[in-house]
Amino acid sequence: MNKQLFQIQLLHGYFADGLYQYCKVLADSDTIKLMDRYKLLTRMRDGIFSVYMTCQDSAVAFVSYLNDQLQGEPLRFLLAANEEQFVSITDVPFDWCGQMGFSSKLTIPENTQSGTPLQLKAELGNRTVSQQNVIGVICIYLDDLLVMGCNSICYVIEFKARAMHWVYYLINRSQTKLNNPMICNKERYFFDGPESVVLSNGEKGLSFNSGDRLFPLEQVPTKLFDLVDRLPASMHTEFQPVEHCLIQGLPTPNAGQFSVRQKDTKKYMCSEMYIYL
């Protein structure tokens, strides 16, 4: 019966289920040769990469022997994903074009209990693998597996979604009279604005922005905002202002649709969306 030596779970905050199923873990050429020689098996399913031994020895005995053969060198795996999509949805520098490094040496304290997920933290670096669409290299040292007793070892690689500054442009092409337009959500978070602007095509409009607040990109949007118009108080409204919802559920940013802006010396990512009446 095959015995699991370890697994690596891939998570990403952009995706609705939290799993990074569009990313794969692949053994590099040297690791493939070693796995073929010692009949190690791999499986990739639901964002989880698993490595199995097939011999009848105990896991500790087998890994100890394998570690001696490797003379302390790690098993190396490539993290493969569409680079363009990865950079657009992930919290990395917007001009980043390197590769990430992950090592079990950074995650194994001696007193960690078996079965506890161990975070593999990313280190941004230069490209060490020329192969296209390789976003990172994972090094798993077998002596780290031995420290854990080679029992139910689960590594986790988790990426944060890219956070964006939001800007809405409202263009009123209809005869709708606006009194005090606002953009807000059910939690009563209001966008800054409006400010009068002239768009690149010469059309006049109003702009609203999220101020200092940034919103992470989401595959399935959960942060929804409405365009409302606050009507002045009158005797018909018992002298209380009334909010009229003009558009419920405004558009939200798509991955890759952003621009780079600069405030003072700091650059930031901004997503611009257009609303037409």
Residues 42, 49 contacting (CB under 8 angstroms): yes
Q: State whether the Cα torsion 14-15-17-18 is positive or negative.
A: negative
For residue 56, the model assigns a pLDDT of 85
pLDDT at site 238: 55
Q: What is the pLDDT of residue 269?
A: 85
What confidence score (pLDDT) does residue 239 get? 52
Q: Where are the domains of the chain?
A: 3-159, 163-276
Q: What is this structure's pTM?
A: 0.87
pLDDT at 38: 93
pLDDT 10s per residue in the chain (277 long)? 789 999 999 999 999 999 998 999 999 999 999 999 999 999 999 899 999 999 888 999 999 999 999 998 999 999 999 998 998 899 998 778 889 999 999 874 444 555 678 999 899 888 888 888 999 999 999 999 998 888 778 999 999 999 999 999 999 998 888 889 999 998 888 999 899 999 989 999 999 999 889 999 999 999 899 999 987 765 454 556 678 899 999 999 987 778 888 777 777 889 999 999 9
